[in-house]
Structure 1
Amino acid sequence: MAPDRQPRATLRAVAEAAGVSTSTASLAFSGKGPVAADTVERVLAAAARLGYTGPDPLASSLRHGRSGIVGVVVEGRLLHAFRDPFAVSVLDGLSQVLDEVPAGMLLIAQHAGAPEKAIPQLAGTALDAVVFSLCGPDDNPAVDHLAARGIPMVGDGSPADERVVQLALDNRGASAAVSRHLHELGHRRVAHLMMPLRHDSSTGLARRAVLEDAEFADSRDRALGFLDVFPDAALLAQTSLPDVEQGAAAARLLLDRPRGQRPTAVVAQSDLLAMGVVRAADELGLRVPEDLSVTGFDGVELPWFAGTLTTVDQHGEQKGRRLGELLRRILDGERPQDEVQDTDLRLGTTTAPPAGD
C-alpha cells in the first residue's frame, strides 16, 4: 500500500507559525516588500520547518490564467532530435525567448506513424501555447484538439492549417538555389538524396512517383526545387532517417557504379545527409570535391569535418528565436501574420567544377 500523501504546507500555516499576517509572510517569502530583516528570518525559518517551498504553481496558474508551460511537439523520437544539431539550434533559440517570457518548455514526441497518440498527453497538460518546430507532417490531428481548447499554435511551415501561425521556409526556392550553383559549375549528372518523404520511408533508390504521396512537405519541396534545375535527373534516393548513417547507406547506392554513370555531384536535403555522402565517397575512394561535389541544407556547425560544406544556411538559432517572438506576441494578445525565414547559400570547399570523364 502506498504511504499517505502529506498535505502541502500553506502560506497561512507559515504565517501562523511565524506570528505574522499572511500578507506579511507573502512579502517576506517573495523578497518583494518592505519587511524587517528579523521578520523575514522568522518567516523563512517557519517555512523551512513546515516544508513550504513557495506558492502552489497550479493555484497561481489558475489565478493568472496561464500555466507557464509551452508545449513543443517534435515529430519522431526525441533521441533523433537531440542528435540533429539543426534541431538543437532551433530549440536553443526558442528556449532563449521562452526564458524571457518567462515560460518553461515541455517537449512532446509525436510518433510519425501514429500522431494521434500524442493527444492524450496534450489533453492531460495545462499549456499556454504549442510550437510545431521540426518538419512535421502537413496534416496533424493534434491541431483540432488544441484549437478546440483555444490553445494558440505556431509552426515552422507545418502543420498546414490556417489556425497555426507559421514561420515558413521557401524550401523549393532554397533547394533550387543550391542546385543552380552546381549547374553553373558545369555539373549535369547530378543525384538527389532526400530526407524521409513519409513516416514509413525506407532507405534506398527512389522514383519520382514517391513525391506524389509525400507526407512531409519539406522533403517534397526540396526535391521539387532540385528538379526545377535538373529536370532530367534520374538518380534519386531517400532515407528512413535524416542522419549520417542512412545518408551514407543511400549514397553508396548512388555512387557505387562505373565512372561514366556515376554522378559528379549530390544534392543532399540536410547537412547530416551530406556528411553521409562524404563518408560514402571516402569509402569508395572518391575525393570531395575533385571527384564528387556535395551540398547540404541547414547550415549547422560540423566541427568534426575538416572542410566547409556548401549548404543552404537557414539560421537555426535565429529561426528558433523568431518562433519564440511569434509566440510571445500571441501570448500578449496579438494575432501576428505568417512570416518567412530567410536562407543564404553558403559556399564551402565541397563543390568544384566536374572532372572530365
Structure 2
Amino acid sequence: MDTRERRDEAAKRAKWRRYLADERAEGAVYRQLAARREGEEREILLALAAAEQRHEAHWLALLDGDDSGIPKADLRTRILGGLAKGFGSIFVLALAQRAEGRSPYGEDPDATPAMAADERIHGEVVRGLAARGRRRLAGTFRAAVFGANDGLVSNLALVLGIGATGVANSVVLFTGIAGLLAGALSMGAGEYVSVRSSRELLEASSPDPDAEGALPDLDFDANELALVYRARGLDQSEAEERAALALAQVRSVGRAETGVIPVAGDVDDEAVGTGLAAALSSFCFFAGGALIPVLPYLFGMTGIAAVALSVGLVSIALLATGSVVGILSGASPLRRALRQLAIGLGAAAVTYVLGLAFGTSIA
C-alpha cells in the first residue's frame, strides 16, 4: 500500500470513528429522553436507541472491532445529550428532528442504503413525537411567544415614538409603564376570550351523547347513520361502510360503542389549551417583554444613550424569542431570529421617525 492509499485509509477510518461516536451519542440521547417518559413514547424512544446501536455496530465492524481513539461526538449531538439529561423537553426532540434530517449517510458509500433509509424514517418518528409535545403546549406557547413579542415591539415603538418628540424623561417612563399595563391586560383578556371561544366551538361540534343511545332503534335498512358520517366529511362510500359496521355491532350486542359518531374537524383540546393558562401566559409575557424597552428610562437614562440601550436590549430579546420559535418549529433558529429582529426593529423605526417628524430632536 503506497503513501496515498495509506492516507486515504486513515481518513476513512477517522470518518468511521466519528460516525461511531455520533451514533453512540445519539443513542444515549434517546435513552435519556426515554428515561423521562413512560408508555408508548418511552417504547418508541428505546426503539430509536436500538436502531442507533445497529448503526454503531456497522461502523464498529468496519473498524474491525477497534473502538480505540474514538473522538467526541459533534457539538450539536453533545448539546442534545446535555439538554436531554437535564431537561428532556420538547426542545430536545425539535433539535433531534433537525439532526436526523442532516444525516450524511445518503451520500456516503460506506453507509448502507438501509442505514440512510433508517435516518430518514427516524426524522419522521422524532417529528411525530415532537408534534405531540407541540400540541400539548401549543395554546399556552402561542400566547407566550406572541405576548412577549407584542410587548417588546409595541412598547419599544411607543417609547421611541414618544421619546423622539423631545418630551421629558418622566413622560417617556410613565408612557411606557402605561403601555405595559394596558397592553398586558388587553392581551390577557383577548387570549382568554379567544381560547374560551375556540373551546366552545369544539364543544358545539362534539356529538350529543344521547344520540348514540338512539342507534339501536334506527331503521337499519334506511341507514340514517351514514348521513352523520357524510356530514362529518366522509364521502358516500366510506360513510356507508362505517355506518354499516357500526350498525352491525349494534345488531350483535344491542348497543353502540362510545365514539361511533365522530367529532367534526381535526382540532383537539390539547392544541387549543385552556383559557386561564393562555391569559396568564399572555399577560405575564407581554408585561415582561414590555418592561425591557422601559428599563433604561426606569434607571434614569435619557436621550440617545437611553434609546440605544433600549434598542439593544429589545434586539437581544427578539433574537432569543425568534430562536426559540425556530427550534420548536424544526426550522433554522438563526433565520427565524433574524426575521423576528427585522420585523420588530422595522416597526419601532417607523414610530421613531414619526416622533421626530412631530416633535423636536432628542437632546
User: Which bin holds the TM-score, normalised by the shorter protein?
Assistant: under 0.3
Instruction: Give the TM-score of the pair, scaled to structure 2.
Output: 0.24
Name the larger-Rg structure.
Answer: 2
Between Structure 1 and Structure 2, which shows a larger proportion of strand residues? 1
Instruction: Give the TM-score of the pair, scaled to structure 1.
Output: 0.24
